[in-house]
Structure 1
Amino acid sequence: MSSSDAAKDEFYEDLHAVLVTVPQEDMLIVLGDFNARVGTDHAAWQGMLGPHSLGSCNDNSLLLLRTSAEHRFLLTNTFSRLPTREKARWMHPRSRRWHPLDYFLVQRRDRQDVLVTKVIRDADGWTDHRLVISQMRLRLQPRRRPQGERSPGKLNTLLLNLPVHCFDFSNQITEKLEDLHAPNDNATVVARWCQLRNVIYSTTLEVLERACRQHQDWFDDNDADISHFLGEKNGLHKAYMDLLSDATKAAFFGCRCFVQQRLREMQDAGMIRKVQKIQGYADRNEIKIFFKAIKAIYGPCIKGTAPLISSDGTTLLTEKSQILKHWAKHFRSVLNCSSAISDAAIDLLPQVDTNNDLDLPRFLPETICVVQQISSIKAPGSDAIPPEVYKHGGYRLIAEL
């Protein structure tokens, strides 16, 4: 109350400068001791001031209400119907009357999230100041899946385990590569690879097609029994709707309870079998099959990008490019540090002859051996071509590589 008008104006200007930096989609909460008594004229300040305020106005109330109107705030203290002892937090030393000076501000769109804002007294009870609390229902937004380019989908490489499909696929790849036009001599390695990649992927998709998604659940093994139970229950329900009597009602409700019990038993038995099977994979150290079985139950994991704070602590980085640049800058400062190197220590290192054979191009048998050593059932890279394609593509495909 003893501050000058210039100091008050400066405070609200600084508050405005901070509020405008908050993104509009974020939930904004402002709380503090504004030393303002806003009065009870809620009709003049409709939407910001509630009908359950106390006392009269002072000079600071107009500044607070103007700021609230500009940023679409509402004073949650004035919207809760409470006794006076739970609305006032400061007692005037002369009049001995209690006034609300601390306010809890939220935007109007978030009003439904505020359950109650009230004053609580401490255990001593002798102080002329009380604590203001607010109970809210905070609802976290689900993690947003990145909306990048859609993945091309998995290819049905399991067909390559059948000799007929494997032979047909090898012949198709060989024919397409024979008809492949030779690129320009001035073409870059990237251009040559893109041309080869497109031919390989299109041929693989034409021969093998895409893999079908297989959703495994507890009711897959009991479809016939479940259909029988549901058909019987639906028949009794129809009979009960056609003839409302005690007999049809008892028959329907009895059948419904029985069906629910049997479905729970099937679900428990199916989950127990699945858990025992997965535990067996873990005990036998079959890690690949273990994670495949877990993924069949829970589905693929959703990978999100966690935001970062900039080095100066003022900006929240949410774009993937900005986050990567920030991490690159961090690791450059951590890893690429200058160090003192002694030339004498380098001279003490044993010198070996240069192996010029490493510069020679690889022989085709060596390349075939390396390709056959690649692990199968691995996730493909950005080209969406799984390793099984190269392993079963034949001699012509390896020669192109």
Structure 2
Amino acid sequence: MTPGLTDNLEEVSDVWKTAIINRELYKLQLDIVALQETRLLDSGSLQTPAGPVTLISAYTPTMASTPEAKDQFYDELDTAINTIPQAEQVFIMGDFNARVGADHDSWPDSLGHFGVGRMNENGQRLLELCNYHNVCITNTHFNTKPQHTVSWRHPCSKHWHQLDLMLTRRSNLSSVKLTRTYHSADCDIDHSLVCSKVKLSTRKINRSKSEGRTHIDTTKTRDPNKVRDFVQALEEAFAGQASGDACERWVSYRDTVYTTAMTTFGRKCNKMADWFEAHSDDMLPVIEEKRHALAAYKNNPSREYLETLQTTRSTVEQTARQCANNFWTQLCSHIQSAADTGNIRGMFDGIIQPLGPPKKKTAPLKTSTGEIIQDWEKQMDQWVEHYSELYAKENKVSEEALNAVEMLPVMEELDSEPTREELDESLKARAAVKAPGKDGIPAEVLKCGGEQSDELHKIICMCWRERELFHRTGVMPTSSLSIITKATGVTVTTITAYLC
């Protein structure tokens, strides 16, 4: 059983709701979402081609809150805005529990011409903050349909209000193309979804290197049938290709091995499906049925359509619990099977599938006095100061120390051509589960042996005899051939380093 998922409908957790909300957001193609009442603290920063952008998700105390709580919230929001440089873009979004009204003449810098209703006490607090920081409310700057300007209906008066707002600086208002409400989003909440379409101005980025090849799925190299098919396909591909110099034969070898491996083993898939995606065939039909029931109830709010909506919601809850339990049961079985067979890699992959990849911990940059630096320009200045002091020290090596270094004898046997046995030992010693080189051929593919090892040995021998070849062309040093070594005893010399 999945933690939090029980057979009692009254104790259903919010896991299935999260999946449904995620599906709605995916349908609307939203990139960034600010969730409310989730108890997630602090704000976030985003690095874009247009520069750093700060995103703040805010939830304002309601009208029933004490004045002290409201003052504390707006003081914290004021402090957060003050810490953001003026040149940096900022977007503040969330449920402000405030009606800002439509008085554009009184608040020309903060309100647009398309506000809704009248201003209340919370709205006045918010407008005063916006006016002080030159921040405008984007919801009031777009002439949309009346139903697209409101997001919440009062349970008693049944009047619609505009409480969920999107704020940005006046200078960044041109980047916001539209802010409107989507009542069709079925998220089982009393607030409707408010979306803003933002287009940031980009700048050209000069990439230092070109993108590499698509990675091969190396997990299938453990399948004997796949390996046999791969070796047979290589034997057919290498027939009649033993011509040309070493450079031409290496390029032909590289492309043939990569294409054959990609055809046999397939492409590596980095995305790990969650329980909703794994059982989308079961979940999507019942969700679509609930969507139609909700639309029918909104068009004709009668008792009959309400019962139909409640029935479809119950079906979605039961299906979600069953799919989640099946997913976790299968995942636990996979992890246990990998542990029993000694497959540590498979066990680790199964564990990180629900938890996600390990988080990379970062430490804040501090000055020499211990103060945390948040401004990007000051951080760069601190790094310049650090490396200037680091490389300012000049190290001198005395002649006596150089003469004291023991000279190793010259090993003439290293000049002989590498044998096939040395090639097999070098390939066998290479670590698996490592990123491939520029050629895109991982170590697991090279270890499959067969005709490719014979062709690889011939190419290496040609490179050994033509020592200046790859020094001129620069083909080999960034390829997988850089791992082939010439070994005698404890001395190991990389072939490519010798050639270059």
> TM-score, normalised on structure 2?
0.38
> TM-score, normalised on structure 1?
0.45
Computing the radius of gyration from Cα coordinates, the structure with the larger value is 1
